[in-house]
Amino acid sequence: MRLDEPPPKIVARAAEVTDPCGFALASPGERGYPAPRTSASASDANRCLYRILGEKRMKILCCVKQVPEKDARLRIAEDGSWIVEDGLSYAISECDRYGVEAALRLKEAGQGEVVVLSVGDGRASKGIKEALAMGCDRAIHVNTAAVARADALTIAKLMAAAVKDESFDVIICGQQSDDLGYNAVAPSLAHYLDMAHAQIVLSVESIDGGKLRVSHELDNSLIETMEIAMPVVLGVQSGINDVRYASLKGIMGAASKPQKKLSVEELGFGDADLASKIEIESVSFPVRSSQAEMIVGEPAAMARTLVQKLKTEAKVL
């Protein structure tokens, strides 16, 4: 992240109207979107077609997950295998919120459609509703709790199955979820869909030739800028834009937007396909390191004790 100025905002610039790709004209698919991908070349032809016609429609997917709210007080279940979920409130995972905003901005810079995808049981409906209220056009809800604690690859495989016939140009995920925290869904989803990818993305803009200019973070505060041909899956970092609030109109309109509910059976996933490659055996609160001394009491007493200890014990004041 840049240190001297606000983080780069997601910007998007429409591609030039003319595009010298030599595909023959064909009639547009229903609602003006490319027909489902039958082969890579047919899909490419459709994409070029829309640029030739000046429509520049971009088909964008954003993916959201419901996670326990950040300041939730956690309790470990009796069998030690996971937290007690009853009574927790859930919200869209932080990076995913920035992803929804990034998707909406990419659409607004040109033309297109933003679809929101969520995998989860009834809890996922709340996140979908919020994303629709923010401005997503329609939703896909894979209604299952089967992969709630699965490994990233199994989750990504199920997501891929749910969207593979849609031929998205850009798929935006949060780079990491606040619960399982794998940092891994975007790159593995890209593998299953045979798309390019980038992780820890800070900015994205549409440039000529069906490409995106993408900047992402590397270690040591380095920022790498790349040109990647669509279709592409991006895992976005938090803080990259100002996430909008849903307007009253958006909230009112959300209920009437199309929502496709899919079951794992409909996606052809059996128990073997849903079996996680890793198993969480137990969870525990980390053992506090031995040197940490907890100072207790009323605020004023704690403060005085601390100052005393910093002076005489730690000798740092």
Scanning residues 140 to 159, which ones bind another protein (CB under 8 A)? 151-153, 156
Give whichever of 28 and 187 is closer to another protein, judged by the CB atom: 187
Give whichever of 9 and 260 is closer to another protein, judged by the CB atom: 9
Helices 94-108 + 124-134 axis angle, to 10:
30
Determine the interface stretch with another protein among 23-31, 44-52, 186-194, 244-252 (rule: CB under 8 A).
Answer: 186-194
Among 198, 234, 236, 254, binds another protein (CB under 8 A): 198
Q: In the numeric block, which tokens belong to residue 24? A: 């023959």
Nearest-approach distance from CB 304 to another protein, in angstroms: 5
272 counts as binding another protein under rule CB under 8 A: no
225 counts as binding another protein under rule CB under 8 A: yes
Determine the interface stretch with another protein among 26-34, 41-49, 250-258, 303-311 (rule: CB under 8 A).
Answer: 303-311
Among 9, 13, 260, 304, binds another protein (CB under 8 A): 304
Nearest-approach distance from CB 70 to another protein, in angstroms: 7
Distances (CA, A) of 31 to 1, 5, 44, 100, 185: 39, 41, 18, 23, 30
Give whichever of 187 and 253 is closer to another protein, judged by the CB atom: 187
Give whichever of 222 and 248 is closer to another protein, judged by the CB atom: 222
Determine the interface stretch with another protein among 111-119, 139-147, 162-170, 216-224 (rule: CB under 8 A).
Answer: 216-224
Burial label, 146 (beta-carbon count in 10 A; 0-12, 13-18, 19+): buried
221 counts as binding another protein under rule CB under 8 A: yes
- Going 25 to 58 to 205 to 105, the CA torsion angle's sign is positive
25 counts as binding another protein under rule CB under 8 A: no
Q: Are the C-beta atoms of 13 and 212 separated by less than 8 Å? A: no
Near another protein in 70-99, by CB under 8 A: 70-71, 73-74, 76, 83
Nearest-approach distance from CB 175 to another protein, in angstroms: 7
Closest to 128 (Cα-Cα) out of 65, 70, 82, 80: 65
285 counts as binding another protein under rule CB under 8 A: yes
* Neighbour-count burial for 54-85, b at 16+ CB within 10 Å, e otherwise: ebbbbbbbbbbbbbbeeeeeeeeeeeeeeeee
Nearest-approach distance from CB 139 to another protein, in angstroms: 25
Among 19, 130, 166, 178, binds another protein (CB under 8 A): 178
Q: Are the C-beta atoms of 107 and 56 separated by less than 8 Å? A: no
> How far apart (Å, rounded) are the C-alpha atoms in residues 152 and 11?
29
> How far apart (Å, rounded) are the C-alpha atoms in residues 296 and 303?
10
State residue 111 phi and psi, 5-degree precision: -135, 160
> How far apart (Å, rounded) are the C-alpha atoms in residues 94 and 96?
5
Among 108, 165, 227, 266, binds another protein (CB under 8 A): 227
Among 161, 180, 204, 236, binds another protein (CB under 8 A): 180
Among 91, 182, 244, 259, binds another protein (CB under 8 A): 182
Burial label, 14 (beta-carbon count in 10 A; 0-12, 13-18, 19+): middle
Site map (CB under 8 A) of another protein, residues 97-116, x = contact: --------------------
Question: How do strand 90-92 and strand 66-68 relate by DSSP bridges?
Answer: antiparallel
Given the structure tokens 């031929």, which residue do they identify?
167
Give whichever of 130 and 151 is closer to another protein, judged by the CB atom: 151
